[in-house]
Amino acid sequence: MRENYSSGSTGMPVRLYQSQEYRDWYAAELDRSYLGCRPFRLGMPRAFFWGTDIDSRAHRGATGTARDALVNVLWFDAFALRRDGLRAAVRRLRAFRPALVIGYVSTLTEVARALDGALDALAAVITAAETLTPPELTLIAESFGAPVFDRYATREVGTIAHECEAHAGLHIVMENNIVEIVGPDGQPRSEPGDEGEIIITSLRNLATPLVRYRLSDMARLGGEGCSCGRHSVRLDSVLGRTSDLIVSPRGVLLHALFFMRLFDKAPVHRFRVDQETPSRLRIRVVPAADYSDEVRQRITSGILEHGDSAFEVAWEIVTEIAATPSGKFRFTVSHVAKGEATPPERD
Ligand SMILES: [Zn+2]
């Protein structure tokens, strides 16, 4: 058995043990998801922009560098990457000629902005750990010059679902986990389009059994079957954390995707919506060049019209929006208690 930790946003990670059997199935599943990114073949160069200390530790020092070279991996510590170091990182990345780039959505967005032309040997980009928004997807695909495959995984149970070449939702890895979607009433939902909290039962790790484990993430179910030929059930999309869910004064449920759609193509680099009281929203934006009062008015009207007219919306222009202590970015945060414990961070 080996110890592993969830990357806890509160600084109190959940500790668990994982068996050799679990790790083998996890590794096999990872390889299979890489092989789905044709024409990638095992052994081809892979570049990672990854961050947690536990993951990065294995890549430090002479031993780490030697091991990486042996398996053809270039590792960037995403949390140590600073904006003024991006140019140098891009040069190293280009010289390495990766066939796959794997990383956090927010880090890859920054790298995409610093890229000066596509990477010519690249088969695909795999994004993980944060919700991939349509503008970020477009930016990453265009800058890197390769299709983007989204992956949904956690340290506790491994890969839960990942995108295929049809890019029509994320196939659930049914061999390794039982994935349930439950509504607010606690009852499982099974129809395509149903939304709810994700509950996981790991089939592979008997070292610390996780049975109907709550990850505090929300997802929408997709249909069965896919034009790619795989038959596993798909998640239409992962909607974000339950703690990111904003419940309006009239009880309308607004997840991060609602706000992402409103901000789609809006001239802002970043935004974050905080529900400070049940009726008060504070929106912070890092404005881009074309930002104006009209943008603000249009989005406010969208919130009042399609969300809840009882909201009072305050805007604030900022130069930067900080990530969570574990380096991940959240678009919406509700400070209104829903009577839940602080959940572990998604990885
Ligand atoms: Zn498919």
Q: What is the pLDDT of residues 108-140, one digit of tens each?
A: 988 999 999 999 999 999 998 777 878 889 999
CA of residue 29 to ligand 1 center, whole Å: 15
SS3 of residue 60 by DSSP: coil
CA of residue 38 to ligand 1 center, whole Å: 13
CA of residue 19 to ligand 1 center, whole Å: 30
Query: Which residues 6+ apart lie within 8 Å of 308 measured at CB?
Result: 248, 249, 250, 252, 254
Cα–Cα distance list, 153 to 162, 287, 347 (Å): 8, 31, 6
CA of residue 228 to ligand 1 center, whole Å: 4
**pLDDT exceeds 80 at position 253:** no
CA of residue 162 to ligand 1 center, whole Å: 9
CA of residue 196 to ligand 1 center, whole Å: 22
CA of residue 18 to ligand 1 center, whole Å: 29
What token pair was written down for 127? 């994004």
Query: By 3-state DSSP, what share of the chain in percent is helix, strand and coil, each rounded to 5?
Result: 25, 30, 40
Percent of the chain with pLDDT over 90: 58
Residue 324 C-beta-side C-alpha neighbours within 13 Å:
21
Distance, C-alpha 267 to centroid of its chain = 22
CA of residue 243 to ligand 1 center, whole Å: 30
Q: Within 10 Å of residue 223's Cβ, how many Cβ atoms?
A: 13
Q: How far is 286 from 291, CA to CA, in rounded Å?
A: 9
pLDDT in tens, 168-198: 999 999 999 999 999 878 899 999 999 888 9
- Helix 256-263 to helix 293-302 angle (10° resolution) is 140
pTM of the predicted structure, to 2 decimals: 0.78
**pLDDT exceeds 50 at position 346:** no
CA of residue 164 to ligand 1 center, whole Å: 5
